[in-house]
Amino acid sequence: MKRQFPKVHDLAPLMKFKKPEINGKKRRLDSALTIEDLRKIAKRRTPRPAFDYTDGSAEAEISISRAREAFTDIQFNPAILRDVSTVNTGWDVLGAPVALPFGIAPTGFTRMMQTEGEIAGAHAAARAGIPFSLSTMGTASIEDVKAANPNGRNWFQLYMWKERERSMALVDRAAAAGYDTLLVTVDVPVAGARLRDKRNGMSIPPALTPGTVINALPRPQWWIDFLTTEPLAFASLDRWSGTVAELLDTMFDPTVTFEDLAWIRDQWPGKIVVKGIQTVADAKAVVDLGVDGIVLSNHGGRQLDRAPIPFHLLPEVATEVGNDTEIVLDTGIMSGADIVASIALGARFTLIGRAYLYGLMAGGEAGVDRAIEILREQVERTMRLLGVVALEELTPAHVTQLTRLAPRARTAERV
């Protein structure tokens, strides 16, 4: 092989240097290619109690682990030689169009994660053409979220409190502000045992203790933002010195029944969706009440540990009630491929909670934009690789759920 010294004019085309990005936030977010990348950035930038409140779940955290494994344990079945030059990722959900098959889930205490909070999420949702859901335990008012997303779709999530009048006052405000959908959460008769919060001494608002000060030293920007912006305010309280779970136990009503759900349905003028369905029987029961949709969800693993896996439940629920109501899925979604698989197996829509909060903690409003963009790119790419150009073309034939966990056969009871 003949060798020679390289010539300058031959080297020149190879020597391309990327222009450095001066903006640290943009550089940080541009480097994130997945939601897990955003999670790692969020963990570096957020004090442990706030990060763990988002990242953690109940007890041994088995439910969220299984939910994510369920999405890992799928096989896509692509079709080839299709023209996929143009892909449509939108359709109608609950009577109005969405640009993408996912929306932002309701999350509590959001401004503790990052001070831009729900307003950042509402702005990002408006730009993306997707719904934004405000939690009863949110840290922005119903009216301020509407102002941040005046022409988009706003959903309000309702917890029924022991003081019913306070709950329904929020419902009345949401209706007056033009929210189009009410998400009634039904899986919280009491709070789950969120052990990370207990170990971290998670209080509302976060307390300055020797431990939190030490943890804050490498994360000064979070504390600067927290201490120099408007104090946290909640729809439900001004201050609470206990843990989040203790707060929830003082508020949530363990006596709520199907009759209460029917009563709420009659009070709300828009679409009503029941969030927290975990069995086929309960799906049928609430559909018989005339609701417009259901959310298959185990609350992100934050209530009953070892709860049913929503993604595993989806095909059977879709078969039983899919023609009678719209099915939304949440819990464990960390990629656009997870979303596409959910739509293929019968969901009309999905909700992202942690994925949105990881983006928020990683970079405020710009971080939420980045989370949505990552998921958008993944949805489009997965659809193209499957050989489909519209959500309507996705079918159960595109997805095989592989088996890792399967019920053991029951033995006969002893006499």
pLDDT of the residue at 39: 97
Average pLDDT over residues 163-171: 82
Residues facing residue 327 across a β-bridge:
294
Domain presence at residue 117:
yes
Structural domain tally of the chain?
1
| Token pair in block for residue 89 | 């990722």
pLDDT of the residue at 86: 96
- The rounded Cα 179 to chain-centroid distance in angstroms is 19
Task: Answer whether residue 390 shows pLDDT above 80.
Answer: yes
- Summarize pLDDT for 325-356 with one digit per residue, the tens: 999 999 999 999 999 999 999 999 999 999 99
Domain presence at residue 410:
no
Residues designated as active site: 299
Average pLDDT, the chain: 88
Average pLDDT over residues 275-299: 95
pLDDT of the residue at 405: 76
Domain presence at residue 304:
yes
Residue with the larger pLDDT of the pair 168 and 397: 397
Contact, 360 vs 55, CB < 8 A? no
Task: Answer whether residue 22 shows pLDDT above 70.
Answer: yes
Domain presence at residue 78:
yes
- Summarize pLDDT for 243-261 with one digit per residue, the tens: 556 666 666 777 888 888 8
pLDDT confidence tier of residue 90, bands split at 50, 70 and 90: very high
pLDDT confidence tier of residue 415, bands split at 50, 70 and 90: very low
Domain presence at residue 9:
no
**Which of 132, 102, 133, 130 shows the shortest CA–CA distance to 341?**
102
Query: How many other CB atoms are found less than 10 A from the CB of residue 285?
Result: 14
Task: Answer whether residue 297 shows pLDDT above 60.
Answer: yes
| Token pair in block for residue 70 | 């369920």
Amino acid at 45: R
Residues of the chain above pLDDT 90, percent? 64
- The rounded Cα 58 to chain-centroid distance in angstroms is 17
Q: Which of 45-49, 121-125, 341-345 has the lowest mean pLDDT?
A: 45-49
Q: Which of 3-7, 22-26, 42-46, 305-309 has the lowest mean pLDDT?
A: 3-7
Average pLDDT over residues 138-161: 92
Where are any strands of DSSP class E within 278-347? 293-296, 326-329
pLDDT of the residue at 246: 64
Give the range of the structural domain holding residue 372, as residue numbers without chain letter: 24-399
Average pLDDT over residues 72-78: 96
CATH number of the CATH domain containing 380: 3.20.20.70
| Token pair in block for residue 386 | 């499957």
Q: Read out DSSP for 115-176?
A: TTHHHHHHHHHHHHT--EEE-TT-SS-HHHHHHHSSSS-EEEEEPPBSSHHHHHHHHHHHHH
Report how far residue 408's alpha carbon sits from residue 406's, in angstroms, rounded to the nearest whole number.
Answer: 6
Contact, 133 vs 351, CB < 8 A? yes
Report how far residue 158's alpha carbon sits from residue 187's, in angstroms, rounded to the nearest whole number.
Answer: 12
- Summarize pLDDT for 179-206 with one digit per residue, the tens: 999 999 998 888 888 888 888 877 665 6
Task: Answer whether residue 410 shows pLDDT above 90.
Answer: no
Residue with tokens 């990348």: 37
Domain presence at residue 7:
no
Task: Answer whether residue 239 shows pLDDT above 80.
Answer: no
pLDDT of the residue at 372: 98
Domain presence at residue 378:
yes
pLDDT confidence tier of residue 162, bands split at 50, 70 and 90: confident
| Token pair in block for residue 115 | 């001070």
Domain presence at residue 227:
yes
Please state the pTM of the whole predicted model: 0.90
Report how far residue 189's alpha carbon sits from residue 197's, in angstroms, rounded to the nearest whole number.
Answer: 19
